[in-house]
Amino acid sequence: MKTVTVISDTHGNRGFFDTLNTVLAESDYIVHLGDTSADGREILKRFPDKTIVINGNCDPFKLGENERVLEIEGVRIFACHGHRYSVKQTLTKLAARAKELNCGMALYGHTHDAREDVIDGVTLLNPGTGSRYSEKSYLYLVINGGKSVHKIVPAV
């Protein structure tokens, strides 16, 4: 069993990491989906061996990759920021890309709105934002033996 904490769009709010420190410390993986405004360096410094940073459209310093496929406990996950797939207008391009990569799940940010959808058999998950632009939230995943459960968690 592996646990994954997914955050996005922190836009310089490093205090968000402090509020989640216990969850982040206990997670097997931490995925930041972009728009870190360089605060991605802070999370990489705290948890270098388990943090994956994806570049967002507001990231002047590229700390990670633009997109990535993760395989955790037999679950293939496509991770991206979302802006290259027009996620503010539609999620069909994102679902199609995940399906093309043989992923049953896609993680994305960019919109600052936490949500979960299923399109064409692909589960699409947005953790929301860790910044002032909306109510703060994150995504918590538990993956075991090819199956996963998830929860979008409001952050205080």
Largest separation between any pair of C-alpha atoms in the chain: 38
pLDDT at 156 over 80: no
3-state helix, strand and coil shares in percent for the chain, rounded to the nearest 5? 20, 35, 45
In order of their start, the domains of the chain are: 2-154 (3.60.21.10)
Q: Which two tokens stand for residue 52?
A: 């994956």
Question: According to the model, what pLDDT value does residue 115 have?
Answer: 97
Question: Which percentage of the chain shows pLDDT scores above 90?
Answer: 86
Tens digit of each residue's pLDDT (9 = 90 or more) over 31-86:
999 998 778 888 999 999 999 999 999 988 788 899 999 999 999 999 999 999 99
